[in-house]
Structure 1
């Protein structure tokens, strides 16, 4: 194996030492990443390289002075050669430095791809907003257009169909003119009965061409039909070929490109968090550990992603991303205030016809009396969204008065696009993310659209 192969192998080993994606989500340090960049810890592996010894440093075998005999002392060791001298400030003392670490950096698109593989997700976003109309294949036809787009193949087929429909066996009709006692008019009537598409004028023009000694060859049309074979149009074309196709202007069609709408996949993610006094540090960390990967994933899946962060206690207000995970209030809890604000923001800036919507809320499931059933659930039904989710964060188990998650789950138990997930510890995070993001084959928006 050459040096180049060695280098590639060492790089592969470095990537293999990257922290497992699911472990990173559950236990890793998420603070080193931001909305556009995900940094996953990785142990740095030194790549192999040649090291050249410095010259003129002295020592055995350097060519400076006589070579000592076997067993001859070579002098005291130089400082810095690993001696146990009392210079305790020298760099390189044992135990001073830990192992070297770096980060494996990925963008949200790569993060989404790897999370799909790790969790078995199959979310396929759809575009909503039309950003461009482009010309597709020439599948449409119009009656007018430039000559370069004339559909000659279609014109030829139409002419050929007319040729087959109107063509007749001239030899057969001429034999009918030899029936004794018939006239051009009687021959024409007979042709019409036999569905032979010949005009009276053609019969009259051909009548005088029949020699007198050939008239009366047949006693009747029936005798003539029994004695003379009639060729159909296809047989004549195979035998004689086609000299002329009867093209008509009405048959002309011009190829026209189908206009295709190019749609951009827009998404707005509304993150709602309870910041009341009961949401202590452990609960806040579980919210961050769940919502942050959700944001990365959806940003990686859509062409254009925007995020709205709403904090609430008894009232709700919009905050930025940095504030969202750290803010804490001492007030009570009224979850409906957050959904009222979310509905207002979505209706004003993110119309359902143009935006995919995800509304994620998290808290310890405590809410003011009757607020869930009387206000929150009707508001959720009124907000059209691809997915509504409520993440209950209750380390150690659900409190007696924490009933919001249960009431939401009971109200939407027949709706696949409302998800209730419980996160009591970091190891629950990836299961909750899977439940929130997995595709539902019978999904219908919670708002009913």
Structure 2
């Protein structure tokens, strides 16, 4: 074997400190951003911060007091909404993406997928390998364990996400759950050929995991927030406002003179000044990107704000393409941010609505929900099958289980209970 040394030129992208700082702050809400800047200002003698201006501004009827220090109540985000938002960042083909969305729609109250993968494959025109790829994409989303087909698989998915390398915990999850439930550590140790102490430790690890993911909206999970984005009507137009009164204003204090300081102190202050400048610039980037993303969202969804129409299909990748940024940047920009308009307060990410194929054009999940409400308002006894057929007559390619899923999310009982 001959050894040699050669030079090779390789291109790679390494995020600068400024970019890392900006991306770190971008995913924070206004409240979290303010807290972070306050903490940094306490530690950095060069960084100063002006507190947000809490002033009353009566934009909407009944909005008085909102712009003070009180919070507004926002509806909790459903598990499906969280998963759809993450799914947009996965690189899936069109049919595999549709299959992944069908799988999410089919998740039960524990976040398990217990329906037939073969049925999903047939519905979406996929082969078995592609359907498994779609399921694996769902199982890679947060929270860990979602999309599992059994308790064993749910535990194994969580072990994988934790980076567990040992084989024994996986074998216990797959083959020895009854022994685990009984606390038969000695029996498990004997079956696996491991010391009793390790058996006990592995079982303790498995007991610390979640047996499932709640897929039932909890009223008590409602959050109290203050929205960063405000939308005002001006005739037939909309005005998008980033409410900077809620945002702390950092600045660099240049009062320190470096000329009369020793070299160590001077180096320290120069490093602190550079860090302070990065924070100031990152806060400005936070405001700019949030405003740009919100403006693009509202431009697409303006019919919702102006006349109450259903949301249009919209993906994070669509907004990212318009702004010439990566979809993960859009995901960070909307994470934890809220919008306030005349109709209430909404998570910014809720305006990304999944697309359902139809004849002539695609429709959004919001369109399907509204259609279900309208049909049941006219004919309260309609079954899920009947609703599905009528939606398909309107051109929406939708499965019965998806209709049932939307109906349950809206808190509407089954036709059997309604007819009773």
Compute the TM-score of the two structures, normalised by the length of structure 1: 0.18
Which one has a larger percent helix, Structure 1 or Structure 2? 2
Larger Rg: 1
Relative contact order, higher structure (CA 8 A, sep 6+): 2
Relative to its length, the structure with more strand (as a share) is: 1
